[in-house]
Amino acid sequence: MPTERIAILVDGSNLYHYLRELKLTGLAEFDYKAFADFLARGRVLASATYYIGKGLMENYGG
């Protein structure tokens, strides 16, 4: 039986604002690797990408 492989794409801006709505603290120390592993649920994680939109990068000096 083949092993299922997945790719995870995280919209960083939406995730950040959602976590803030939940009143979570310490967002700078958020463990994205553990989050990706949780989402993978035992499947092979082929890639995990955290991205923000180009407009946001320009607003923050990126």
2-29 residue pLDDT tens: 689 999 999 988 988 898 899 988 878 8
DSSP single-letter state for residue 61 = T
Q: Which two tokens stand for residue 45?
A: 């994680």
pLDDT in tens, 32-57: 899 999 999 989 999 999 988 776 55
Q: Which residues, listed in sequence order, are joined to residue 5 by a DSSP beta bridge?
A: 44
Question: How far is CA 48 from each of CA 15, 22, 31, rounded to the nearest angstrom?
Answer: 14, 23, 13
The model's pTM:
0.68
SS3 category, 1:
coil
Q: Please, are residues 4 and 44 in contact by the beta-carbon 8 Å criterion?
A: yes
CA 45 distance to own-chain centroid: 13
